[in-house]
């Protein structure tokens, strides 16, 4: 069975990272147009760089939670048991999935711990602040910028994602409001290619009605429960 899992900010909420929408959301203190659009980066780069520097800095204080760990465990069992393909797509820019051990992982909205050269397209691992706007060491032509997909920009690896959605038999969405295109359409793509679909989310999302099954509650409890159901009583593994 081929599995595709999509995650959003809700999966990292129990690790202590704010979600975007709703009470206490990340954008309550900021206008989206000021910090998360391609125009903002042109108009007020210092503010945009500082916003992402702060968020990168905040990663040091948080750890993967039980939901991140469970997804990594499921991937391990799927690979070792040759049960089919497993792809994790995250809209999150934190590094909690990789720290939990997930390997087949696409950061479709970029990553805080990565820097991008707008001229040559080089991407490199990045830690610490970027507000001093370091030059690209590959081409020397431009400043490095946060490797984050801003509004008005194209998410990463859409071709690979589309292929995986069309080839999967189970699509699971965890901790996302379904408010942002194109991720909000993934459930419909998977479904139209005959996949079963499951949503795990604290509240109703904008696309809940499109799922075959919906489980409401905290990812930290529901994701491990779902994963245990998937792997049954298989023994072994590093967990
Ligand atoms: P949102 O903040 O829009 O939605 C988070 C969802 O997680 C909500 O539906 C909550 O009900 C749910 N939630 C919160 N805590 C949860 C928990 N502990 N367990 C389970 N569910 C929980 O975040 P995203 O959907 O990820 O894009 O937002 C999508 C995109 O919007 C982001 O990637 C970002 C933003 O624009 C870019 O920056 C390009």
Q: Please report, for the domain that includes residue 189, its CATH number.
A: 3.40.50.1220
User: Which pLDDT value is given to residue 6?
Assistant: 98
Same domain, 128 and 212: no
35 and 128 share a domain?
Answer: yes
pLDDT of residue 23: 61
Residues 6+ apart with CB under 8 A from 213: 196, 197, 198, 199
pLDDT of residue 238: 42
Q: Based on the domain organization, do 189 and 143 belong to the same domain?
A: no
- Expressed as residue numbers, the domain containing 100 is 1-17+64-109+155-239
- 181 and 93 part of one domain: yes
Same domain, 55 and 71: no
Query: Which CATH number does the domain housing residue 27 bear?
Result: 3.30.1600.10
Q: Are 148 and 127 in contact (CB under 8 A)?
A: no
- CB of 102 within 6 A of ligand 1: the answer is no
47 lines ligand 1 (CB under 6 A): no
Query: Looking at residue 30, what is its pLDDT?
Result: 67
Shared domain check, 223 and 199: yes
Cα 138 to ligand 1 centre (Å): 35
Do 237 and 195 reside in the same domain of the chain?
A: yes
Q: How confident is the model at residue 210 (pLDDT cuts 50, 70, 90)?
A: very high
Co-location of 84 and 202 in the same domain: yes
**44-64: pLDDT as tens digits:** 999 999 999 999 999 999 999
DSSP letter for 210, please. Answer: G
CB 170 within 8 A of CB 198: yes
Write down how long the chain is: 239
Count up the domains in the chain and report the number. Answer: 2
Residue 8 has pLDDT above 60, yes or no: yes
- pLDDT category of residue 18 using cuts at 50, 70 and 90: confident
Same domain flag for 70 and 159: yes
What mean pLDDT is predicted for residues 177-206? 97
Nearest-angstrom CA–CA distance, 207 and 229: 24
Quote the pLDDT of residue 21.
79
Q: Are residues 54 and 23 in the same domain?
A: yes
Q: How confident is the model at residue 26 (pLDDT cuts 50, 70, 90)?
A: low
Residues 118, 218, single domain; the answer is: no
* Burial environment of residue 235 by CB neighbours within 10 A (0 to 12, 13 to 18, 19 or more): exposed
Task: Check 77, 97, 107, 109 and give the catalytic one.
Answer: 109
Residue 160 and residue 106 in contact, taking contact as beta carbons nearer than 8 Å: yes
- Integer-rounded Cα Rg, in Å, for the chain is 18
Q: Is 77 among the residues known to form the active site?
A: no
CA torsion 73-79-81-86 (nearest 10°) is 80
What percent of the chain shows pLDDT beyond 70? 92
Is 64 near ligand 1, meaning CB less than 6 Å away?
A: no
Ligand 1 center to residue 182 CA distance, Å? 14
Q: How many angstroms is it from 21 CA to the middle of ligand 1? A: 7
Ligand 1 neighbourhood includes 90 CB (under 6 angstroms): no
Is the domain of 179 the same as that of 209?
yes
Outline where 91-218 has alpha helix (H).
Answer: 96-100, 158-167, 186-192
**221: pLDDT strictly greater than 50:** yes
């Amino acid at each position: 069975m081929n599995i595709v899992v999509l995650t959003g900010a809700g999966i990292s909420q129990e690790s202590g990272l704010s979600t975007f929408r709703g009470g206490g959301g990340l954008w309550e203190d900021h206008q989206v147009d000021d910090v998360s659009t391609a125009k903002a980066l042109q108009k007020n780069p210092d503010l945009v760089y500082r916003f992402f520097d702060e968020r990168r800095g905040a990663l040091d204080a948080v750890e993967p939670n039980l939901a991140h760990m469970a997804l990594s465990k499921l991937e391990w069992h799927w690979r070792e048991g040759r049960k089919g393909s497993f792809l994790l797509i995250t809209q999150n820019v934190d590094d909690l999935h990789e720290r939990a051990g997930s390997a087949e992982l696409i950061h479709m909205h970029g990553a805080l711990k990565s820097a991008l050269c707008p001229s040559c397209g080089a991407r490199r691992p990045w830690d610490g602040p970027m507000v001093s706007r370091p030059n690209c060491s590959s081409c020397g032509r431009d400043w490095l910028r946060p490797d984050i997909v801003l509004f008005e920009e194209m998410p990463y690896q859409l071709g690979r994602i589309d292929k995986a959605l069309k080839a999967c038999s189970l699509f699971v969405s965890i901790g996302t409001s379904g408010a942002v295109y194109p991720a909000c359409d993934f459930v419909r793509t998977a479904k139209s290619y005959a996949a079963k679909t499951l949503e795990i989310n604290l509240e109703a999302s904008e696309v809940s009605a499109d799922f075959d099954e919906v489980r409401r509650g905290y990812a930290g409890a529901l994701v491990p429960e779902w994963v245990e159901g998937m792997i049954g009583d298989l023994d072994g593994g590093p967990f």
